[in-house]
Structure 1
Amino acid sequence: MNCHEPQSHRSGKLRKFCEELVLPETGVVVVGHGTANPVGAAETKNIVAQVDAILPNIPVELGYLEVIEPTIEMAVERLAARGCKKVVALPILLFAAGHAKQDVPQALQEAVARQGLSVTQADPLGLHEQVISLARRRFYEAIEGLAPIEGGSEALLVIGRGSSDPTASHQLWGFVRSTYSSMVRVAKHRFAISFVAAAKPTMSEAVDQLMLEINGRPSVRRVVLHPHLLFHGHVENQVEKYLEKARSQFPSVEWVKVARLGAAPEVADALVDRGLRYLCGSN
């Protein structure tokens, strides 16, 4: 597939290729983080259903890392019962942090060891072109109908979930550059990043920095908050809570929130694309 092709063409080629992909004794476990939030859980299941449809000849099961069932162990058991001897894991994770590097691999290895299977784990979604394209679309949806503010008085705050991983800030800035560096619409924006938990700066710290006055006047008149999140849950609720506080604290500023990625086809396509080299190399 040509990396310069339009997204729709590349997606179509991916799905056509996968329709004809037959891998005996190989199954896929799509690994979700796990959430008690019913909307987030439904979005996860929706993505897994899309992955299942993209890979019609390969068994696909959902396994959550924590909080709710089915667990990763249960998903691997189901694949074993369906005759699979090899498992390819597709983690629904945005970045390579603790879950991707430690928790998911450990849970997978323990699960396949009990069944006598082998497992390989695909990379997180990261800066996959489908994710970047979807993030840009979410931004444009959020600002639709809003006229640019003259004088460069707009700011963009990209918010990550947060992690104790030392590369958390580097990875989030990488997302910011990949998503926004080519967009003329934000060329004069002030940029900042923040995290909901476990990393600095916090949302409050980042906004306080953006609101520093220049020559006695507020530096920004509009702030676009872009929470880079997959599904609804506790983290997005924390962002909403902070947004309410910010609107009260800075009433003269216009606050705009970008929607989460959600159960969009681009997420399912990116997941499968991340796993293809492991699937195609598994037999």
Structure 2
Amino acid sequence: MMAGKGLPQDCGLLVVGHGTADRVGEAETRTLVGHISDACPGGAVELGFLEVIGPSVGESLRRLCARGVDRVVAAPLLLFTNGHARRDLPEALAAAVAEERIPVVQAAALGHHPELVRLSRRRREETRRVLPPLDPREEALVFVGRGASDPAAATQLITFLEATRACGADCRPGEPAAICGRGLCPATCAALPIPPGPGRGGVGFVAAARPTVEEALEEIVDPSRPGLVPRRVLVQPHLLFRGRVEEQVREAVDRARSRHPAIEWIVVPRLGAEPDVARAVVARALETLEKVEG
């Protein structure tokens, strides 16, 4: 028997958040889990955190067991596969399973799920819509990730950015879909260029990877680079919720604004607790169950 839109009635969904001391970020996480529950009517859904705040993964697994489920799929609220997905979450699940002795499988990170790709692109377009018109060649984009020591961090972020431009919905009127990307800053990753387009573009990271946000913001306005020096720079943090990482991005943008006051610096809103994200989380969980069940 299946509950609602596909979650088996005997299977609980353990949604795992990183954990944050930011009250707004915590509230956003809980709001998202509400959307996930709405997407699984009749299903057993619980939220657990890896660190900082509770309930813990173990506590939430116990709650699911108390609700009578026979197995659990753990769905991480992680944008990409990183140390949390490869190490921290499996360790937390292993410790919890040792106590509860219930089958638990871990779903993949959200990655390049189409729901997130469309939402990210929409955030950019919503931002542009309220700004004065500008020659596309004079607008630049810096896409910002949290960062990780994993060498794949840059590749994952760049690939996601490429995906947001793949179908043409991010194009300006009259731009061919195939060339709506902007060439990456040289420091970003020469092996993975975004197709050249009308304005400059690049990626940056808040921690543990290069280029840093500061480096990316300086390079994007470097007059020695090919193309027009931008009159406007969109800085888009690829983040789910508010927290210290987003604060660091905004602080870096404020410093860039003080160094280059003639340029318009705009921060694009984070992804947030949208139903789009909830649908992606549920989809990842169901994909995992399908693989397990063959």
1:279 counterpart SS class: helix
After alignment, is 48-57 or 165-174 more displaced?
48-57
Deviations 1:93-128 (Å, cap 9, x if unpaired)? 100111111111111111112101111111111110
Structure-2 residue corresponding to 1:250? 260
Q: Which amino acid in the other structure matches residue 184 of structure 1?
A: C
- RMSD over aligned CA atoms reads 2.1
User: Unaligned regions of 5+ residues in structure 1, if any?
Assistant: 1-16
Percent identity, aligned pairs only, is 43
Whole-angstrom distance in 2 between the partners of 1:26 and 1:262: 27
Query: What is the TM-score when the length of structure 1 is the normalising length?
Result: 0.88
Structure-1 residue corresponding to 2:4? 19
Whole-angstrom distance in 1 between the partners of 2:289 and 2:64: 15
The number of equivalent residue pairs is: 267
Deviations 1:222-249 (Å, cap 9, x if unpaired)? 1100100000011011111111111111
2:238 and 2:271 in contact (8 A); partners too: yes
Query: What is the TM-score when the length of structure 2 is the normalising length?
Result: 0.85
Q: 1:117 aligns with which of 83, 102, 119?
A: 102
Distance 1:169 1:216, change over 3 A: closer
Deviations 1:164-193 (Å, cap 9, x if unpaired)? 111000000001100124332254121100
Distance 1:249 1:50, change over 3 A: same
Deviation at 1:155, TM superposition (A): 1.0
Deviation at 1:212, TM superposition (A): 1.4
1:152 counterpart SS class: helix
Structure-2 residue corresponding to 1:59? 44
Q: Which amino acid in the other structure matches residue 224 of structure 1?
A: L
Q: Which amino acid in the other structure matches residue 93 of structure 1?
A: L
Q: 2:54 aligns with which of 62, 65, 69?
A: 69
Whole-angstrom distance in 2 between the partners of 1:190 and 1:112: 49
Structure 2 residue 191 is matched with structure 1 residue 204:
no
Deviation at 1:83, TM superposition (A): 1.8
Structure 2 residue 271 is matched with structure 1 residue 261:
yes
1:165 counterpart SS class: coil
Structure 2 residue 229 is matched with structure 1 residue 219:
yes
Deviations 1:115-173 (Å, cap 9, x if unpaired)? 01111111111110000111111001111133453371221000001111110000000
Whole-angstrom distance in 1 between the partners of 2:126 and 2:75: 28
Q: 2:146 aligns with which of 139, 150, 161?
A: 161
Structure-1 residue corresponding to 2:171? 184
Structure-2 residue corresponding to 1:228? 238
Deviation at 1:20, TM superposition (A): 5.4
Deviation at 1:211, TM superposition (A): 1.7
2:211 counterpart SS class: coil
Deviation at 1:280, TM superposition (A): 4.6
After alignment, is 266-275 or 175-184 more displaced?
175-184
Q: Which amino acid in the other structure matches residue 259 of structure 1?
A: P
Deviations 1:13-49 (Å, cap 9, x if unpaired)? xxxx862546343211000010010100001001111
1:18 and 1:54 in contact (8 A); partners too: no
1:88 counterpart SS class: strand
Q: Which amino acid in the other structure matches residue 13 of structure 2?
A: V
Deviation at 1:278, TM superposition (A): 2.8
Runs of 4+ in 1 over 4 A off after TM superposition: 215-218, 280-283
User: Unaligned regions of 5+ residues in structure 2, if any?
Assistant: 173-179, 181-196
Q: Which amino acid in the other structure matches residue 242 of structure 2?
A: H
2:199 and 2:230 in contact (8 A); partners too: no
Structure-2 residue corresponding to 1:44? 29
